[in-house]
Structure 1
């Protein structure tokens, strides 16, 4: 984020984008699209975020392309956030953690998205493995879909459901950063962030304020979908994130991908997205 700007580019090869790029909705089109995005932005962006569903819909060969994309990103020195939104309990959650966070796993990414709605502690296998391997997780906290509020805004004896996710992430990061000691304090005046981030939609409006959430206290990255094509700009980011804006990694997909397939056009769109995000997220 410090080196390349606070933007994460989604790799979302849905049928409409494949058609826009002049590609067939098959494994070959999937591969050309995904690797084309990576060729254009690899080494120039804070992270890429492949959406696993669009690879899985092509079966085993599509998952093989996802493995190839993750490996190519590693070779390019670009961080990956694999958008899988997994969540389960016990040995099943441990299996998901092993699939995405273990060193040497074919689908290993630098971070994954997780769904905590079987309880924050149900994520424990992934939280612990991410800490051991130096990887990260992004836990769903406040999503922008209208139905999300019914669960995430619900009040409990200890606050809101979203508040439990904020508190859980803050506790995990406090422990990790304390164990890291002075060496984990950050560099170049940029505060260190812990490995547990949150997904907070950039279009969730006043929800953070109304629920009394302290996002800055999380001391972890905040993945913010909804920037750009979905309508969130400077005003929306200020309203949602407030003093935590320096922790935000703005996720953009269509705003960059629809500029393709020419690499120079994708790079120009990325540069514009980074400039806009930097301006919007400056405190």
Structure 2
């Protein structure tokens, strides 16, 4: 039996600068890249690990130690930890605390969406500095109505954190909801993006309410969707889902400089060797900088 997992620190680092400004600084310094921590069973097997809590802990610790001091954002997928119950959540708590202590921004990929006090409880879980899962940002689903997210939006603002709201996702099933026509004639995703833009009005250098927009979607110019929300655009789909950094300008156009490309398996498949993980992340960050017109001098 593996040794007990120590608890996360009781006093997490509380931001004093809004998330959007901290993200802009991290992207400029470390490169515009988010690496997902997705410990699903097949990856654990590929790493020569058992699909159990001990394997989860080894996988997560290796990834955090290899990448937290060099990538802008680490994005643990909560579901892959939740499947192991309380011991999996303990691994997640420790990973969040250690990644933040090493300088990475932590985006909790939980995709929470609910109403009233339940949404408030989700906000407390991820956006309250007193919570052991306190993260720099969390993913949210707005499809119970954008106003249902108000408890999380307010909690994020109060704590200097951010949120990434599902806009146009890369999964094909999302289109039946996200591209449906809203009452004002826009696609529903366009309506949601409009709400995000309103939340970010006047923020500099970047708002703290981001959108999730798939990198696999192709040219969005004629879809009635405006990606100019004055906030970050999390772009999943790089790597295993088929998109490449070179695709980003065609999808995001004039706002490509605000894109945070997200890659998971494209980096994680190079483990468990820490050096190989670092090289893969560096390569993706350099490719993104080249695609969006940046340079690599900051790293």
TM-score calculated relative to the size of structure 1: 0.92
Q: Is the 8 A contact 1:233 1:280 kept in 2?
A: no
The answer to whether structure 1 residue 210 and structure 2 residue 222 are counterparts is yes
Counterparts of 1:108 and 1:268, CA distance in 2: 29
Alignment RMSD (CA, Å): 1.1
Which residue of the partner structure matches residue 229 of structure 1? 240
8 Å contact 1:173–1:220 — kept in the other structure? yes
Query: Offset of 1:205 from its aligned partner?
Result: 1.6
Uncovered stretches (5+) of structure 2, i.e. residues with no partner: 1-26, 295-299
**Among residues 255, 259, 262, which one is paired with 2:273 in the alignment?**
262
The residue that corresponds to 2:293 in the other structure is 282
Which structure dedicates a bigger proportion of its chain to helix? 1
Question: Partners in 2 of 1:234 and 1:84 — Cα distance?
Answer: 25
Aligned to 2:6: none
Moved more, 150-159 or 48-57: 150-159
**1:235: how far off?**
4.6
Equivalent of 2:200 in 173, 176, 180? 173
Paired residue secondary structure (2:231) = coil
Equivalent residue in structure 1 for 2:99, among 73, 80, 94: 73
Contact 2:68–2:100, Cα closer than 8 Å, also in 1: no
8 Å Cα contact 1:245/1:282 also seen in 2: no
Any stretches of 5+ residues in structure 1 without a counterpart? 178-184, 186-191
Higher relative contact order by CA 8 Å / sep ≥ 6: 1 or 2?
2
Q: TM-score, normalised by structure 2?
A: 0.87
Match of 1:162 in 2: 189
1:55 to 76, 81, 96: 81
Whether contact under 8 Å (1:13, 1:30) holds in the other structure is yes
Counterparts of 2:150 and 2:191 in 1: how far apart (Å)? 15
| Change over 3 Å in CA distance of 1:231–1:215 after alignment to 2 | same
> Is 1:26 aligned to 2:37, yes or no?
no
Higher strand share: 1
Deviating 4+ runs (over 6 angstroms)? none
Counterpart Cα distance in 1 of 2:189 and 2:267: 30
Structure 2 counterpart of 1:199:
212
